[in-house]
Structure 1
Amino acid sequence: MRVVSLVPSLTEAVAATLPGLLVGATDWCTHPAGLDVARVGGSKYPDLDAIRALRPDLVLLNVEENRRADADALAAAGVPTRVTYPRTVAGALAELGELLGELGATVEPDWLTAARKAWAAPPALAPRRAVVPVWRRPWVVLGGDTFAGDVLRRLGVRNVYAEHPERYPRPELDELRGHTPDVVVLPDEPYRFTATDGPDAFAGTPCALVSGRHLTWYGPSLADAPALLAAQLANPVVGPAGP
């Protein structure tokens, strides 16, 4: 089978479990390191001609990572696709097991078994209210029904926007500050928040800088995510006041 992945999480999962199956991946598929496959552009705007030229038996996509128009174009060209859409940790673990089995894995990979065990009893942190920006200029935050939101909930972090009808609301900064969260969770992707870019907007409020890969990816990183994110959430920083 020849597989092209347009989802970094799944690129890592397939490459770690079934070496040699992948023939193409996006420019943003950075794990595992040294992956030697054809690159087919970005997740949002892949090179469809390059994908077709690889003659894949299956293209892996995700509702959030990829555009419906590209999925439709591939299907119209006769290219089989598999679209994923996990919104909870449990859903991601189940979907990964099913997908890898369909791709030919005869036993569950060690990393997936480890991830199931890690999330069966994640570290117990003191409950806290949070806002979770994923972009700046404009501000975009995690809303309801998101995988990352479920990851944080399992670690004791309650997203202020968890009940919002939009999955990625765009509130003004004054609104975010007005919620007076216990912590602002700042991942390093898709927007690369740093110790100053982000905390500067929330002077006086603890800001936890966390790994975006461990917060939003569903693949081998799930095995390490509970412990790593818990440690990062337990060590927030307070940045200087902005202008």
Structure 2
Amino acid sequence: MSDTIVKSDAPVTLVGGGNVGPGDLSSALRLAPTLVAADSGAGAALREGHVPQVVIGDFDSLTSEDKERIPPGRLFPIDDQDTTDFDKALERISAPLVLGVGFLGARVDHQLAAFSSLMRYRQQSCILIGPEEIVIHMPPRIAFPVDAGEVVSLFPLARVTGRSSGLQWPIDGLVLEPGRRVGTSNRALGGPVTIDTDGPGLLGIFPRHRLEAVAQALRSPRDVAPR
């Protein structure tokens, strides 16, 4: 584990260099006011009038103009071509929750890499904010309110089992696995949805307007030990 650069007792907003939609950054900063940028995400922050408190990355896509607008003491270059800038930042943040903006909705390969990072650095709770949805790596247990009919999708990156309540199609007794059975397009029955998983590797994809509820759920104490 690399040295921590950002240590915060409050949630942190992490902005990347992908698509940052209208209201994405402001929605995240309202819940997580500490702003960190992954490489060229600094430019996205600057364009919206925010100077990141920390910038982490290999700086291969951070323009010289944007770099000059950031105090040198806030720049943390990481010379590593084997990891993405999202990896570099997520690995060096210690916070109760990270809200990731600018990692979804652009290039598909970048999105797939971000999903892999969510699993790889799952010890750091993180929510990726997209145009219509949010994406998390599922913790051992999560519960949050969802209206009847809302989509609750589960997508496995590894073989995983679990249990659920509040879903039209429960996952109890199922084996979710890439290339075989996935759990997309499930529907909430209304009220709280509770999902328990027996191991790592399951992504949760929920409606964007559930951001605050999911953020609260990820920060709530859970009676299941972290994996």
Answer whether TM exceeds 0.5 for this pair: no
Higher relative strand content:
2
Q: Taking CA–CA contacts closer than 8 Å with sequence separation of 6 or more, which of the two structures ends up with the larger relative contact order?
A: 2
Higher relative helix content:
1
